[in-house]
Structure 1
Amino acid sequence: MATVAEIVTNTIIKKLESGVIPWYKPWTGGEAVNYITQKPYRGINRLLLDSGEYLTFKQIQDLNGKIKKGAKSHVVVFYKKLEFEDEATDEIVIKTLLRYYRVFSLSDVEGIDSKQVIKERENYSIGKCQEVIDNYIDKSGITFQNEEVSAKAYYRPADDIVVLPKLSQFTSSQHYYATAFHELVHSTGHKDRLNRLTATAHFGNKEYSREELIAEIGSSILCNVTNIDTTDIMDNSAAYIQSWLKALKGDVNMVLVAAAKAEKAVEYILK
């Protein structure tokens, strides 16, 4: 008889084979936006900027703001295709105009209020899921923190801390717990636990991608174990995993390798 981990893994693989599903962050307040227009940054800027509102130095001055001491600017890239006719050859020439400028996060600025209105929902605590989290926190000693109107969810090994947006920021209670489980699985890789995380892992490389696969599959298993409705969750997980498989050149077999490590992480959380 197939184990829960095998059932979940097979379901994910089938969804991966059906094509790419656009992945999204299941909470509000998760994009980097231009403070003045409130429009999200696009293209490579999605990777260059963390979530939040951004202003240029001149915009900060015009709004009578003050940059906090020690704050650093961030690069934003602007590119535009220009099409013109070459007078010598009468051919249409297309050139790309590429420029960059620097912006500051509103979190590093004093005297200017945020324009963002974070939509909050009346989500609820799911007893069985919360019990898994609370029991793991008690026995592991990990710090678990919900930030006020956060735009990020992450595990930071140096401080052994999991940080999540508030429950009310998520599209549903189920998505909140799926995200919490994802970060808890990451935490099992700490050197004092399963010793899976490596110092050489960085965004986009194979080690980082593999760890993301482990965390997402582990989250899916925990959702199944705690009887969360996984229909929407599984679609989101499959799309997220698909994005990391691109970094692994579509190596679907890597999902099976990650699933074995994910099952070990889940057993550690539930023991």
Structure 2
Amino acid sequence: MMTVMVQDRPAAGHSAESALARLIDGMGNDRFGPALASYLHSLCGADHFAAFRLGRDELREVAACCVQPERTARDRVESYVKQGLWKHDPAMTEAQRCVEGGAATIIHVDFSDHGYDDLRPRVYPHVRDRILLCGHSVNGTFGLSVLRADSHAPFAHEAIEKLGQAAELLVAMLAKHADVCQSRPNVAQALTSLPEIENCIVATSPLPRREAEVCARILYGLSSVGIALDLTVSEETVKTYRKRAYQRLAIGSERELLTWYLARWSRWSAERFEAAASTALH
């Protein structure tokens, strides 16, 4: 028998490797933002970051966080995106031009540029230095704005080099995180999308098609008359299908049908999410 001794891990927060491990573990969930902030801090001394998916005429936030998450400047991030301030950002204009070449690019922002006369006080009032990393993956084009606070010195040359060396990895991880989040189940659809309700019942129950269609429309909020009109059958036929379905499911009311359905939708949507996440990560 062979015994392998595993060395103790470095203390949390004291190595880029441990921070990277937490980042990978956080992909696709709410831990990703704080984990990326921690990794960037370990890598290059960053205090804040904001990551985006870039389109020709739109910008979508992927994640944004401060090393101290409670100090994340959500209002400025949202203004930058929703008010279209990014369109007036010289670095973002340069990023969109650079990524057409395919390779990941590092842009060191010069806040003395007159293009920032209006933008800096609105978006970067307490920022000493900013690096914009941009790159393209099979899933789209991404930008990562990495910031140092006023209280610290600008990014050192060595820190910028480290960020450049990790550029392709960071772009790939942003792309995977964005895709996993996009495929996450939307709880609002559980009772507001008739196709969603119907597909779930068909996939998770022994009900014949017509009985499943009737139950789906009951959950959607249609009356017996409304269901009859929608399915082009008589109201009595709808009541017959409903009675048979309740017998098969061993329930006796709409409330019990709702409870039955939500339990199955939860498992069904979770399985779809896990399958999509597994596909995205591989």
Higher relative contact order (CA 8 A, sep 6+): 1
TM-score, structure 2 length as denominator? 0.24
Structure of larger gyration radius: 2
